[in-house]
Structure 1
Amino acid sequence: MKKTLLAAALTVGFFGVAQAETSVTLYGIIDTGIGYNKVEVGDNYEAKKVGLINGVQSGSRWGLKGTEDLGDGLQAIFQLESGFDSSTGFSAQDGRLFGRHATIGLQGESWGRLDLGRQTNIASKYFGDVASPFGASFGQANVGATFGSANTVRWDNMVMYQTPNFSGFQFGVGYSFNTNGSQDWDVDNDPTSDDNDEGITTGLRYANGPIGAALTYDQVKNDVVDGKVKAWNLGLSYDFEVVKLHAGFGQTKDGWIGAGNFGAGAPRADMYEDGLEANLYTVGVSAPLGAGKVMASWAMADFDDLNGQELDKQSIYSLGYTYALSKRTNIYAYGSYADNLYGLDDAKSTAVGVGLRHQF
């Protein structure tokens, strides 16, 4: 149950001084299930796991968000959101206390909102739910498994501005001084000191009636490693009420924002890969079924050859269903099969699961 606290009362309790009206909301999601995952690479590698799965439809989290009325339509806003693994209780996002979100900002009905801090990029906000019925959810079925820049990409040190909604249109732009971790100093006569991954994210979305559309662009560069990766995405959807259609197209160049296992099957921690290019495609459909919804999608990453190494087309086929037990609780089931995962010949992954999600 959402709990709204009046900050005026809190302020009186702590400081004895009445302040402008403030609201603070405690919220969260717990998502846990049972799943199976099997990964094969030719005849040389096979691994599988059966057990509890966490955060499949929605990452398990708890958070606080609030506003303070500053007058003349201006509000101060904040949001703190902590992710956790519901199967173990451990913190997610590399152990950050508020790893999912940590921002403070200002907003006004006439001019939009400005947020400062750790938050998702524009592609993750605008693209996923338009291009795919799975959005940025359901593990391997996640649209971000193909469109990496929309893979719930969170950047530290971000300044982001978003306009109000104008007849269905909204524009956003953001800049990160360093996408991961504290910002490095730029020391004179030391070209290796300024080792920051600087990020630019921008996009435009439209939602009006049955039509949805999104166009996004993201770029990350690092002067020390001389790397610059760029990605853009275009998503479209149309809701016929009895069925909703989704489609997306995009490209990534000189790297992969948000994911990556490329080259001889070895995992890569670095998003930069000079010469790595891919065209990205997805189509999907969702339809109401009783108190639930059935979802299906196909997504493909068509890679160019990388430094003489031939990369195959990655294809992911996914099917899922959600069923509402109440306004806040639902059950779900999904299955997903990936072929030539990350462009590697004969690399396959099969994932299935059922779960329970509760929102408060």
Structure 2
Amino acid sequence: MKRSIFASAVLGLFTCAAQAQSNVTLYGVLDTNLEYVSNMSSTVPSATNGFRPGEANNVFRMTPGGLSGSRWGLRGIEDLGGGLKAMFALENGFSSDDGRIQQGGRLFGRQAFVGLELARAGRVTFGRQYTSMFEALANFSPNAFGNQYEPIIALAGANFRSDNLAKYTNKYGPVSMTAHWSFGNGVAGGGEVPGEFRRDTGYGAGVGYAAGPFATAIGYDQYNPTLSTGGTGTFKKAAMAASYATGPVKVMAGFRWGRNIAANDNTILRDNLYWIGTNYQATSALSLTLAYYYDDVKNLNLAANGATNNIANPWQVLFVADYNLSKRTDIYLSTAYAKNAGLNFDTSAISFANGYFPGAGESSMVGVALGVRHKF
């Protein structure tokens, strides 16, 4: 009898919670592919080995997150009346090939924020979120910031998803705007240290315009990471992009200026990144993407790890064919060729984040992936 009463009480509690939070949505993506990569380094370059690559070998493997990072999440909105709403998002990233949590083992490493929105006044959110420049450029990324073969880190920085971030967003007709401040991002250090207010902080803003077939956006981002060589650096990026759609074709192009400065004000990296791409809806089910990326390295100073100051400018070509089997399931073929760097511009100088490091003596890399993606 006691068990029955207890079970009824618990059931009633969850029923009330479900009624109060009926607008909460559970969603997710699972994306896995079989991948071939040429000229892969047998070891991961790091500070301990002088950033020297190992022997070059080809690899055939199963890889998670081709077009989209595998994830599951919860999001919801509550109407508080008078045009005021509360919202939240919790999003977990995981490897769909082995089930491990990504983003350094964080439970909700992709997003974790709560906020308020007032009609016409905009939205303010607090927590782990995407930076303003990343959000502003999202619609101008040829492969929609695809995980596998798009140089996201080189374009937006390793801090494109930041901790302890307060963000404001609003939209006025065709104009959208966003701005943020991070009290301390955990990419390079802990941040939020007493007496070290600047450590690992960041800020930025973005403005977009979209009307009819034309759209454009500009963005700025600054990140002040804790450097392994000591002190706090200043990593600055500014970007602009535009797109035009006509019929089944959308063409886009962009430019990103970047400068990374050490604690002693010496320039670590100064570069200009350019990209151009097109999306073509060949049929109602088949979409094709072609993109080109080029990084003009103006100045490089990595004497601390023995790297050369003169490197050939990296460039990469990307092609994707994506076929929808239904509204939720698609299969895809992704291919990319990178020159003077690993795929996604992975080198110890430019990105060094995605794990595509060319082996010793190699200056190019090819990647081919055949995968399946399901959304729920």
Normalised to the residue count of structure 1, the TM-score between the two structures is 0.83
- 1:139 aligned to which of 148, 152, 157: 148
Matches of 1:40 and 1:87 in 2, distance apart? 20
Q: For 1:43 and 1:94, locate their aligned partners in 2 and report how far apart those are by CA, in whole Å.
A: 24
Q: In 1, are the aligned partners of 2:175 and 2:210 still within 8 Å (CA)?
A: yes
Residue 261 of structure 1 is matched in structure 2 by: none
Where does residue 259 of structure 2 map in the other structure? 253
The Cα offsets for residues 290-322 of structure 1, whole Å up to 9 and x where unpaired, read as 211111011001002323711211100111111
Which of 274, 281, 288 does residue 281 from structure 2 map onto? 288
Question: Does 1:202 find its partner at 2:210?
Answer: no
Is the Cα contact below 8 Å between 2:272 and 2:296 reproduced in 1? yes
Greater alpha carbon shift after TM alignment, 217-226 vs 39-48 = 39-48
> Shift of the alpha carbon at 1:214?
1.3
1:74 aligns with 2:68: no
1:37-85 CA distance string (max 9 Å, x none): 1236899741332111111111100000111111101111010000100
User: What is the correspondence of 1:234-273 to structure 2 with a 5 Å cutoff?
Assistant: 234-254=240-260
Which amino acid is the alignment partner of residue 254 of structure 2? G
1:109 to partner: Cα distance: 2.5
Q: CA deviation at 1:208?
A: 2.1
- Measured after TM superposition, the shift of residue 194 of structure 1 is 5.5
Match of 2:194 in 1: 186
Per the alignment, residue 47 of structure 2 pairs with none
Name which of structure 1's ranges 66-75 and 224-233 shifts more when overlaid on structure 2. Answer: 224-233
Between Structure 1 and Structure 2, the one with more strand by share is 1
Which residue of the partner structure matches residue 101 of structure 1? 111
Q: Does 1:160 align with 2:167?
A: yes
Q: 1:277 aligns to what?
A: 270
Q: Which moved more, 1:86-95 or 1:193-202?
A: 193-202
Task: Report the Cα distance in structure 1 between the residues aligned to 2:55 and 2:275, rounded to whole angstroms.
Answer: 28
The structural deviation recorded for 1:277 is 0.4
Q: Which amino acid aligns with 1:112?
A: G
- Given candidates 302, 324, 347, the residue that maps to 2:363 is 347
Are the counterparts in 2 of residues 11 and 17 from structure 1 also a CA contact under 8 Å? no
2:235 corresponds to which of 229, 233, 257: 229
Give the residue type in structure 1 aligned to 2:335: G
Deviates more, 1:324-333 or 1:47-56: 47-56
The 8 Å contact of residues 183 and 192 in structure 2, kept in 1 or not, is answered as: no
Contact between 1:12 and 1:18, CA under 8 Å: does it hold in 2?
Answer: no
Give, in whole Å, the separation in 1 of the partners of 2:15 and 2:128.
29
2:321 corresponding residue in structure 1 = 321
Residue identity (%): 32
List alignment gaps of at least 5 residues for structure 1. 1-9, 188-192, 257-269
- What TM-score, normalized by structure 2, do the two folds share? 0.79
Count of residues in correspondence between the two structures: 328
1:275, CA displacement in angstroms? 3.8
- Could you tell me whether the CA contact under 8 Å between 1:294 and 1:322 is conserved in 2? yes
Structure 2: state its 5+ residue gaps: 1-9, 42-51, 302-307, 342-346, 351-360
Q: How far apart are 1:210 and its partner, in Å?
A: 1.1
Distance 1:357 1:134, change over 3 A: same
Is contact 1:40–1:348 with CA below 8 Å preserved after alignment? no
- Select the residue among 291, 296, 299 that pairs with 2:293: 299
Verify the 8 A CA contact 1:22 1:68 in the aligned structure 2: no
Alignment map for 1:57-136 (pairs within 5 Å): 57-130=67-140, 132-136=141-145
Q: Does structure 2 conserve the Cα–Cα contact (< 8 Å) formed by 1:124 and 1:136?
A: no
**Following superposition of structure 1 onto structure 2, how do residues 45-64 of structure 1 map, counting pairs within 5 Å?**
45-64=55-74
Q: Matched residues in 1 for 2:77 and 2:333: separation?
A: 36
| CA–CA separation in structure 2 for the residues paired with 1:340 and 1:312 | 6
1:112 offset after TM fit, Å?
A: 1.3
Shift in Å, 1:226: 3.7
**Cα distance between partner residues in 1 of 2:269 and 2:296:** 11
Whether the 8 Å CA contact 2:133–2:205 is kept in 1: the answer is: yes
Task: State how far apart, in whole Å, the 1-side matches of 2:89 and 2:192 are.
Answer: 25
The alpha-carbon deviation at position 153 of structure 1 amounts to 1.7
Conserved in 1, the CA contact under 8 Å of 2:271 and 2:299? no
Q: Which amino acid aligns with 2:94?
A: F
